[in-house]
Structure formats: C-alpha cells, structure tokens
Structure 1
Amino acid sequence: MKLAVVVLALAMTGCATVADLEHTPPTLSVISGKSPQGYAECLTNKLAGSRKPPLVEPHHDGLRMIISQNLSKDPAAVVVIETRTNNGSSIKLYEHLSNVPIRPKDIQNAATACISG
C-alpha cells in the first residue's frame, strides 16, 4: 500500500523544465576551489555509472549542467557553476522532487564529492 502511494505521488508530479527547477530553492549551495570546468568534469565522471552524460552549456560567468532523469529526457537536476572573482566557483544544485525523501541521491552525493580538490 505504501509503495502504491509513493508511485502515485511520483506520477502526479509531472514534468519539470530547467526554468522550473531554477526557480526552486537549491538543494545544495556551496563554494568550491575548483574552476567551473574542473567541477563540471568531476561531476560528469562521478555520474558516469548512474546517469547519461549531462548537457553542459555556457551560463553567465560559468557553466550550467542539465542532468536528465534515468527513464526520460526530462531534467532530474540542474547544476549552475559560476566563476568567483577570487578563484574557485559557486555551485548551486537544483533537483526535481527535492522534497521527496526517497529520491535517488546519486546526483547530490556526486555534487558533494566534487566540492573539494
């Protein structure tokens, strides 16, 4: 019965766009000593075993990574990596279903693992 409720809740959430995700509170907001390119490369490598390669595009003073869901092309997460004036990057992770405690944590775990050198 609990599984049916979870499946129903996930089905009702619908699709999220990149703009929708960027207008929600970030799941993770940190500063890293890595450049935007270095952080993006680390995150791509960490997610290689569980996700398709993310779409990486220029965004303001850095990069934006769009990570797709496992079963569709809809975005599961957006990572905005911006260059800081004194070296390093500011990183914000926006996840689809960020308020669902049983969501896959592979994206958040990889984003956290790539923060430090």
Structure 2
Amino acid sequence: MKWMLAALALALGGCVSVSELEQSHETLDVISGKTPREYADCIKQHLADTRGSLVEEKRGDGLRLIVPQKLTAGSGPAALVDIDKRGSGSSIKLHERLNNFPLRLGDVRTAATKCISGS
C-alpha cells in the first residue's frame, strides 16, 4: 500500500528542476570533517546500488551531486547534495524532492547521514 501511495505521489508531483530544488528547504544541513571529495565519493558509493549515475558538478572549492530519481527516470532530479569546503572539512546541504512527503524514499538521506563521519 505504501508503494502505491509513493508511486501516485511521484506521478502527481510532476517534474522538478535543479533550480526548484535549490529553492526548497534543506532536509539536511550539517558539517563533516571529510573533504568535499571524500564526502562525494562516500555518497556515490552508498547510492551506487539504488540510483543511476549521479551527476557531479564542480562549484568553487566544493561539489554538487545531482541524484536521479529512482522510479521515474528522466523526470528531473530527486535530490541535490551541495558540498562546500569549510576549513579542513565540508558543509553539506541536502535538498530533496517531496521533502515534506512522509513516504518518500529514504536512501539519499540515509547515505548523506552515514557519510558525515562514517564510511
């Protein structure tokens, strides 16, 4: 039943662009002791089995990861992970599509949280 609701929400949600995700409230805003490269590589490793290829963009001293949707390919990004250099570590902001929908898939947030200090 949960999957039917999630599929319905995705179908009704329409396409979301990167710029629309940038304007959404962050679902995660943290600091990590990892460099932007270390953090980005960790996220990619954790999402390798559940998502398609993440798009990586260089942004100043940091990186942006654009996470594709899991169920509906080609309909815009599911999440943005902005990783900015901060001292010897990173400042991380996660923007997710359907960020206030309780049945959204949790693999991106789980990966982002695990990568803060773990591997």
TM-score (norm 1): 0.90
Structure 1: how far apart are the matches of 2:61 and 2:68?
23
Alpha-carbon deviation of 1:57? 0.8
**2:17 equivalent to 1:17:** yes
1:47-72 alpha-carbon deviations (Å, 9 max, x no partner): 01101120011013200000000221
RMSD: 1.9
Paired letter, 1:102 = L
Q: Distance in 2 between matches of 1:2 and 1:37?
A: 35
Q: Which amino acid aligns with 1:104?
A: L
Cα distance, 1:50–1:62 mapped onto 2, change above 3 Å: same
CA distance in 1, matches of 2:53, 2:3: 30
Counterpart amino acid of residue 40 in structure 1: A
Aligned counterparts of 1:22 and 1:57: Cα–Cα separation in 2: 14
Q: Where does 1:35-114 land on structure 2 (aligned, <5 Å)? A: 35-70=35-70, 71-73=72-74, 74-84=76-86, 86-114=87-115
Matched pairs, number: 116
* Structure 1: gaps spanning 5 or more residues: none
Q: 1:37 to 1:14 in 2, by over 3 A?
A: same
What amino acid does structure 2 have at the position aligned with 1:113?
K
Report the identity percentage. 49
Moved over 3 A (4+): 1-10
Deviation at 1:12, TM superposition (A): 2.4
